[in-house]
Each structure stands twice: as structure tokens, then as C-alpha cells.
């Protein structure tokens, strides 16, 4: 049991909490970065390959679109249905094979990433579904390519909702990162387990809870403010303005592409 009256108690407490906070932030940042890179395109593909959507027939094959949608949906549902503690233990052989060990801050990123990707794919899916279908029809009528549609219509319209979902995803990763302390994953969860449960220091537990609360509050506030700054449609007027902006950008891009095509076809010296 730790003695709070010991001369070096508070200095050791601060050092332990700072180290645990850094490890939690490190694990969360790396896991979220990988989750974003992998989950964003998967979420777009999951919605786009549905019947009647803009990626219904990838490579000209509707059958391929249906297969992609079914396989991706199955994998996402499978990933979300497995409890994290079970997934973490099941991934120990894979983590050891990839990184040589399953103990430590680095190896903990593997299960954190794999549990966050299916969740984030659903976040992107919901954000993409909220985009006004009229913009897709307008893009098709203007002859916009699929890439132009995604870049100029889908992503600008869905970005505020994706940012809000990102805040929820980061919060989930932080919560899960506390659980990896059970298998020696480091972070604030390991501090709570080692000092709070095994050495009966309630002061360490209170410190961990306060830091986790502050981390979640700061992340939620920052991403919510950024989403509003980028045009989150919190009002009907805001939504209409976002649609109008997307339409204007799309028209400009299509007109520029058409002019470029005309310029390339004009003989030199004509």
C-alpha cells in the first residue's frame, strides 16, 4: 500500500500520471490516424456500392458492387459485435507476430485500431447518408466523374458530421485504451490498475479519472468547434447554404474540365 505522507509521494504521482497520459495520447493518436485513413474510404465504399448509389457498378459490374457491399458490411458488423476484451485477447498471436510482443504501448495500438475501424466506418456511413441526394443527381446530370463527385460534393458536405463522429471515435479509443492496461498495454489504465487496484491508492484513481475527463472534454470541444467552423448544418439555413456552396464548386469544376477538354482538342495555331 502506498503511503500518501511519504516525502516523494506527490512528485512520483505527477511523474506517473504524466507518463500514463503521454502513453494514452500516443496510443490514441496513432490508432485514430490509422483508423481515419482506412475507415474513411471504406465508409464511402460501403454507402456508394448500395443499389442506386454512385458506386453501384464499380468497373461496370453491378454484381461486383453487390459483393463488395455485402462483404464490407459483414466485416464491419463482425468487428463491432466482438467485445473489446475478447478481441484484445484473440489478437495476441497476431500482435506478437507483427511487433514481436503483445505487451507495451506499441502493441496495444493493434487491437485499438482494429476495434475502432468498424465503428468509424459506420460513422462515415451515417455522415454520407445525410448528404442531400439532389447534389448527386446534379453531379450526374453535369457529367461529373465519381472522383469529382466525392471530392466536391460528398466530402465537403459530410466533413462536419465526420468530424463530430471522429470525436466520438476518439473518446471510444481512449476508453478502450484504459482496458489495454489489463494486458500490460500501458497508459492511464495501467496506472489505475497498478497503483489504484494493486496498491490501494485512491489518489491515483482520482487523478486518472480527472485526466480522462479533461482529455475527452478538450477533444469534444475542439472537434465540435471545428465542425461548426467548416459549416455543420445546425440550422436549415446552414444546410441550404452548404448545398448551394457544393453546387457552385461542382459547377465550377465541371466547367473547368469542359474548357480544358475543348482547349486540348483545338489544333495549335487555330
Q: In whole angstroms, give the CA distance from residue 73 to residue 116.
A: 15
pLDDT value, residue 193: 84
CA 250-254-259 angle, to 5 degrees, is: 150
Q: Residue 30: what pLDDT?
A: 95
Q: Nearest 10 degrees: CA dihedral of 174, 44, 242, 167?
A: 0
Phi-psi domain of 249 (left: phi exceeds 0; alpha: psi -120 through 50; beta: other): alpha
User: What pLDDT digit, counting tens, does each position of 200-228 carry?
Assistant: 888 889 999 999 999 999 999 999 999 88
The reported pLDDT for the residue numbered 259 is 61
pLDDT at 106: 87
| Span 46-66, pLDDT tens digits | 998 988 888 888 888 888 989
pLDDT at 143: 73
The pLDDT score that the predictor gives to residue 197 is 79
Q: What is the pTM of this model?
A: 0.80
- Contacts of residues 233-238 at CB distance under 8 Å and 24 or more positions apart, as own/partner, are 233/160
Low-confidence residues of the chain: pLDDT under 50: 234-239
Query: Average per-residue pLDDT in the chain?
Result: 83
Amino acid at each position: 500500500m502506498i503511503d500518501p505522507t511519504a516525502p516523494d509521494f506527490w512528485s512520483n504521482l505527477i511523474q506517473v500520471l504524466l507518463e500514463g497520459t503521454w502513453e494514452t495520447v500516443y496510443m490514441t493518436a496513432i490508432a485514430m490516424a490509422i483508423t481515419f485513413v482506412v475507415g474513411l474510404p471504406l465508409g464511402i465504399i460501403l454507402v456508394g456500392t448500395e443499389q442506386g448509389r454512385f458506386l453501384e457498378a464499380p468497373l461496370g459490374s453491378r454484381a461486383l458492387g453487390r459483393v463488395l457491399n455485402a462483404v464490407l458490411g459483414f466485416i464491419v458488423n463482425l468487428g463491432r459485435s466482438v467485445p473489446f476484451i475478447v478481441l484484445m485477447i484473440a489478437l495476441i498471436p497476431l500482435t506478437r507476430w507483427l511487433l514481436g510482443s503483445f505487451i507495451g504501448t506499441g502493441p496495444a495500438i493493434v487491437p485499438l485500431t482494429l476495434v475502432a475501424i468498424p465503428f468509424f466506418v459506420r460513422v462515415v456511413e451515417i455522415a454520407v447518408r445525410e448528404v442531400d441526394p439532389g447534389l448527386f443527381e446534379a453531379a450526374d446530370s453535369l457529367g461529373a466523374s465519381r472522383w469529382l463527385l466525392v471530392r466536391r460534393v460528398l466530402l465537403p458536405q459530410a466533413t462536419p458530421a465526420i468530424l463530430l463522429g471522429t470525436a466520438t471515435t476518439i473518446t471510444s479509443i481512449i476508453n478502450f485504451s484504459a482496458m489495454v492496461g489489463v494486458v500490460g498495454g500501458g497508459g492511464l489504465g495501467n496506472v489505475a490498475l497498478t497503483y489504484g487496484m494493486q496498491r490501494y491508492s485512491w489518489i491515483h484513481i482520482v487523478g486518472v479519472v480527472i485526466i480522462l475527463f479533461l482529455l475527452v472534454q478538450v477533444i469534444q470541444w475542439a472537434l465540435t468547434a471545428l465542425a461548426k467552423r467548416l459549416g455543420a448544418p445546425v440550422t436549415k439555413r446552414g444546410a441550404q447554404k452548404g448545398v448551394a456552396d457544393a453546387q457552385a464548386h461542382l459547377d465550377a469544376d465541371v466547367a473547368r474540365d469542359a474548357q480544358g477538354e475543348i482547349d486540348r482538342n483545338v489544333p495549335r495555331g487555330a
